Amino acid sequence: MNVLAWAVLPYVTLAVLIGGTIWRYRYDQFGWTTRSSELYESRLLRIGSPLFHFGILVVVVGHFIGLVVPQSWTTAAGLTEHGYHVQALLLGGVAGFATLVGIAILIFRRRTTGPVFMATTRNDKGMYVVLVAAIVAGLATTLLGAGVVGQEHNYRETVAPWFRSIFVLHPDIDAMAGAPVQFRLHTLIGMLLFAIWPFTRLVHAFTAPVGYLFRPYIVYRSRAPRTANPPRLTRRVRSARAAHAAPDSPRPHSNAR
């Protein structure tokens, strides 16, 4: 079972993620969208969307540091294990909670706004279930790993080495098998999320408008060509304009009865 979970499933997930993304890009570019529903409701969207997106960005950065950067590097930089867990609890906990609140607001909006709910597909519902499960499991591992609940666990000695070993084609099965059950559950849910990623609206994350930040300025020009010497008005036109601009003269009173 450990071989299947920690040596086979990771490569199946990567194959589905990469292959599915390529297939989606080649054959369903018109469906490569979030199917925005801002026109139907924007008040809750303006609250939930920033909470979710900014929170998930911090979560992604935290996962990258925790899984990709070896523990020896952070130790050499002067960050102790206790200090790492404290900042992971503070930043990761706040970011995870913001992400959870944001997705809760978005789901509430989608369920209570009629047109938005009508546009929700079964694919969306399944995606939301897996996404929320991954967020909740991630918050649980943050609290449990930092020792807030239960015994403290340094996942950079178990999960992180296994994660890096996948990309050198030599999975460290024993390292992952020695991790607590909540970390293994979070990892399995994460692999499921990445496996369905290309076939859901989450695929839009691969085409974030990063280039917009570096695009050149847009120069607007008038369609009518400008001339150096404007055409001279004729005497008739000048007289007509002057008569139109002059105030009306008072009419004389008539004494005739």
Q: Which residues are annotated as a binding site for heme b?
A: 53, 63, 186, 204
Question: What does the DSSP 8-state code read for residue 162?
Answer: H
Q: Which residues are annotated as a binding site?
A: 53, 63, 186, 204
Which of these, 5, 58, 27, 38, lies nearest to 184 by C-alpha position?
5
Domain housing 154: 2-10+41-206
Report the sign of the C-alpha dihedral through residues 32, 47, 106, 16, in that order. positive
Reported as a single tens digit per residue, the pLDDT across 210-246 is 777 787 777 776 666 665 565 566 666 667 666 666 5
Classify residue 250: in a domain, yes or no.
no
Nearest 5°: the CA angle 96, 92, 50 is 45
Report the sign of the C-alpha dihedral through residues 235, 236, 242, 243, in that order. positive
Classify residue 75: in a domain, yes or no.
yes
What is the number of other CB atoms lying within 10 angstroms of the CB of residue 165?
Answer: 18
pLDDT confidence of residue 21: 95
Q: How far is CA 77 from CA 72, 88, 95, 161, 237, in A?
A: 9, 16, 24, 19, 81
Classify residue 166: in a domain, yes or no.
yes
Helix segments in the chain, DSSP class H: 2-3, 9-27, 43-68, 71-76, 81-87, 93-112, 114-118, 122-145, 159-166, 173-177, 181-196, 235-245
CATH number at residue 156: 1.20.950.20
Classify residue 233: in a domain, yes or no.
no
Angle, helices 9-27 vs 159-166, to 10°: value is: 50
Query: pLDDT tier at 14 (50, 70, 90 boundaries)?
Result: very high
pLDDT confidence of residue 38: 86
Reported as a single tens digit per residue, the pLDDT across 129-184 is 999 999 999 998 888 766 666 677 888 899 999 999 999 999 999 999 989 999 99
Classify residue 143: in a domain, yes or no.
yes
Total length of the chain: 257
Reported as a single tens digit per residue, the pLDDT across 111-142 is 999 999 998 999 999 999 999 999 999 998 88
What is the rounded (10 degree) CA torsion for 73, 77, 83, 84? -30
Q: How far is CA 160 from CA 165, 171, 251, in A?
A: 9, 11, 96
Classify residue 85: in a domain, yes or no.
yes
Classify residue 242: in a domain, yes or no.
no
Classify residue 147: in a domain, yes or no.
yes
pTM over 0.95? The answer is no
The token pair that represents 71 in the structure block = 């523990």
Q: How far is CA 252 from CA 205, 249, 255, 256, in A?
A: 79, 9, 10, 12
pLDDT confidence of residue 235: 66
How many whole angstroms separate alpha carbon 140 and alpha carbon 96? 10
- State how many domains the chain has: 1
Reported as a single tens digit per residue, the pLDDT across 39-92 is 888 899 999 999 999 999 999 999 999 999 998 888 888 888 778 878 888 888
